[in-house]
Amino acid sequence: MDFINKLSLTGEQKKYLNKLDRKIKSIMPEKLYRHSINTLEFANDIAERTFFSLDLFSLFVACILHDYGKIFSYEELAGIVKENESGIGDFELNNPELLHAFIGDYLVSRDFNITEDRILRAIKFHTVGYCDMSMEDKILFIADKVERGRNYEGVEVLRELAFKNLNLCLLEIYKNTIIYIIKGNKLLHPDTSKIWNNICGGI
């Protein structure tokens, strides 16, 4: 892919990303593949505007593979969880929207032979997050929510904010998510309130 070849990476790193790109393109539905690449592109846009030192290669690998778990059915994912004693709790197991992420690190390690903790952690927590996320994890978390294929009220504001203040953008995304979940009478992940308080400087 031309975009990957323009990234600020070594030749070998670009070669690896292009290999991943071809692989996921062959196994993902078109919409999911496009989202994965859009997430990579937006993460790169954020990275180009930050003064922080980043592990770009690990970030970009995590971006491409963050939704790999979605190619499996819920029944397949639940079966994998039960077979492998993964430590995933009942909340995640009974929530299909979250399960693909919490088992995603295992699937990526198994199917792509990836063992780097930074990549696997970013994939596992790209939907819920965790307290004191690394800068790379924040970028994936944000890019996944606001990449240019997303279309919902307020997303343009969040995109602009991502380039101005990453931490404030993170706070606004959590705020929007919490409001959406509460309005829909849906279950709030137990860690979300802890993360919210942590972002706001609380306990």
Whether residue 63 is predicted with pLDDT greater than 80 in this model: the reply is: yes
Distance, in Å, from the CA atom of 131 to the CA atom of 80, rounded to the nearest integer, reads 27
Whether residue 26 is predicted with pLDDT greater than 60 in this model: the reply is: yes
pLDDT computed for residue 3 by the predictor: 86
Q: Provide the pLDDT confidence category of residue 138 given band limits of 50, 70 and 90.
A: very high
The domains located in the chain, with CATH, are: 2-153 (1.10.3210.10)
Burial of 2 from C-beta contacts in 10 A (0-12 / 13-18 / 19+)? exposed
pLDDT (mean) for 172-197: 92
Residue 70: DSSP 8-state: G
Q: Provide the pLDDT confidence category of residue 196 given band limits of 50, 70 and 90.
A: very high
Q: Provide the pLDDT confidence category of residue 50 given band limits of 50, 70 and 90.
A: confident
pLDDT computed for residue 199 by the predictor: 86
pLDDT computed for residue 203 by the predictor: 43
Q: Which has more confidence, 199 or 159?
A: 159
* 3-state SS, residue 16: helix
Distance between first and last Cα of the chain: 44
pLDDT per position as a tens digit, 71-128 = 999 999 999 998 886 778 889 988 888 999 999 999 999 999 999 999 999 999 999 9
Q: b/e string for 39-78 if b means 16 or more Cβ within 10 A?
A: bbbbbbbbbeeeeeebbbbbbbbbbbbbbbbbbbeeeebb
- pLDDT, averaged across the chain: 93
pLDDT computed for residue 6 by the predictor: 87
Report the length, in residues, of the chain.
Answer: 203
Q: Which has more confidence, 82 or 51?
A: 82
